[in-house]
Structure 1
């Protein structure tokens, strides 16, 4: 029986690892293909997209960077992502604290409301939002668009932060109240450090969403000087749509910062999701 149990565990372990390896290959193969083809001329890609580059010269990268003006795009993307993160963190921290520590019909209605909002597609609001932004003469400016992106991300961030606040022992807040701390002190000096993994998790999710955003930015950001990196890559398709090598290099320039950022923060991101999944 012991031998059979050991064999069964080995078979299970091999099967699980085989599936994981298959999933890794499936996820990494497209990225590897883009990297290889970004160093090849268009003719070589058309002839055999799976072939190895003759040389790893950054000609396509320099062409993509200069023609797509990624310097301007990165600056606007960073501004947009940073503003969106700040707005979402501030509102979701306050809202999550209230939804986690208060009880009543109003809180329940708020939870239902944010649940419903998460299911409504943003396309339904594009026309009225554009009308308002145009009336306020804010179309084509980066910072005001961050409020639209923040509104889109706040419902999910609220539920995440509420879960993290629910995991904080009530005794911690009660001790701070006894010592004379008001709500502001309790929130920012006692609760915020404890839920810092949640703040980091929300920052990563919102930052990635803002960096990759296309529909809203393409609708409200007009003028090349206000384009994000995603829109700059899109603008290349008209001039370099027939040159796959340069387009592949532009795609790598766009996704490289996201990959590096996620690789650096993935441990904290996963820890935050796990630690916030105990209660709901």
Structure 2
């Protein structure tokens, strides 16, 4: 058995190396292109840059107004994360601890809601949002993100609550705590990894989302950073060196956030399944 395992190790390393190359290869090409000129990308799209054009980042930052766009994305992502975390936590608590009518129908509703493509609702949403004065407003986009990302987040938090013992809550009620006190003082600290994971996932999705942002935000002063890449479209051509530089600038906050909170992020995903 030991000999067979040793023989299988080189094959495993080769497979893992190929998978890593498949995953990281496009990212490396994208990073290399950020340091090339547009002419060099045309002649050498996959290789290392002959000379590093650091000026691409300054041009991309100024031309795409990325400072304001990053601030807009930060506001949208934080508001989305906070709203989804609040909605998902309270909904999951109600589904697992309160005697709601309907029973399993709520789970079915969440599963259906999270599986339906948002494209089905774009036309009525545009009409409705225009009537309500929410079109071309960041709060209108944030409300849509709350609705889109809350079903999965609710299922995630609910999985934590199902595995959490109820004895602590019952002891708090015997001491005279109300339902809100039990939720805030007992339940919420215990499901903190799930809440943070739901907030992180929804915030990152809102930060990277493009289709809804380009549909509901037209004013450049309100546009998130995902739309700033449009600035490099010139007629029927695109300056891919500036697109790559802007893409790296856009990805940098996400990478820093993930490296900072990766333990919480991974723990929230692997410590519970999505229970139904």
Please give the TM-score of this superposition, normalised by the length of structure 2. 0.94
Distance 1:249 1:206 in 2: 25
2:87 corresponds to 1:98: no
1:1-280 → structure 2 map (5 Å cutoff): 5-102=1-98, 106-238=102-234, 241-277=237-273, 279-280=275-276
Distance 1:243 1:68 in 2: 12
User: What do you get for the CA RMSD once the two structures are aligned?
Assistant: 1.8
Q: Which runs of 5+ in 1 are unaligned?
A: none
After alignment, is 194-203 or 254-263 more displaced?
254-263
Q: How many residues were matched structurally?
A: 276
Distance 2:139 2:68 in 1: 15
Structure 1, residues 2-56: CA drift from partner, whole Å, max 9, x if none? xxx1112223444333322222221111111111111111111111123322333
Distance 1:126 1:84 in 2: 19
Contact 1:240 1:246 in 2 (8 A): no
Distance 1:11 1:261 in 2: 40
After alignment, is 50-59 or 234-243 more displaced?
234-243
* 1:107/1:278 CA distance change after superposition, 3 Å: closer
* 1:91/1:278 CA distance change after superposition, 3 Å: closer
Structure 1, residues 54-92: CA drift from partner, whole Å, max 9, x if none? 333421111111000011111111111111111111111
Distance 1:206 1:216 in 2: 14
Distance 1:264 1:25 in 2: 25
Q: Which runs of 5+ in 2 are unaligned?
A: none
State the secondary structure of the residue aligned to 2:234: helix
* 1:203/1:13 CA distance change after superposition, 3 Å: farther
